Structures are given as structure tokens and as C-alpha cells.
Amino acid sequence: MIEHLKVRDNIMEGLREGRLEGLKEGKKEGLKEGLKEGLKEGRKEGLKEGRIEAVKEAARNFYANGVSLDIIAKSLNITKEKVQEYISVN
């Protein structure tokens, strides 16, 4: 009977250790995946913001060189309202 209790205790201890090890490993993998996904999204967002800033700068430069709002809008594939917004903000 005592041997059965020792075996049971060893099994339970093994299960606890296995569960803890699994949790640690899962947390580690989760953090790794989260960081990877966060970097990917950050890059995508940064590129998008960079493109928008480039269009804003181009609109301002065209306007400063006397190009009409219609031509700026067509050239940059944006609305006239966006062109007006971009040239009025410094």
C-alpha cells in the first residue's frame, strides 16, 4: 500500500513538473510569436505612414511650384480635398 502511494505521489509530482515546464515553454513561445507579430505590424504601419508623408510632401512641393490642385490630385491619386488639407498643414 505504501509503495502504491509513493508511485502515485511520484506520478503526481511528475505531472506538476511537466505542467510547469509546459507553461514556461508555452509562455516563451507566446512571447516570441507576439514579438514577431508586433514587429511585422509595426513595420507595415511605419511604411504606410512613410508613404503618406511622402505624398504630403510631394503635394506641398507641387503646389509651391505652381501646379494646380487638380493636377496634383490626379498625379498623386488623391482627392482635391486631401491636397488642400496637405498644403494647408505645415
Residue 29 pLDDT: 85
Name the residue range of residue 33's domain: 2-88
Three cell numbers, residue 1: 500500500
Other Cβ atoms less than 10 A from the Cβ of 16: the count is 10
Give the pTM. Answer: 0.62
Cell 509562455 belongs to residue: 27
Q: How far is residue 50 from each of residues 44, 46, 47, 56, 76, measured CA to CA in Å?
A: 10, 6, 5, 10, 15
> pLDDT tens-digit profile of 38-86?
898 999 999 999 999 999 999 999 999 999 999 999 999 999 999 999 9
| Tally of domains within the chain | 1
Residue 49 pLDDT: 94
Q: Is-contact 63 72, C-beta < 8 A?
A: yes
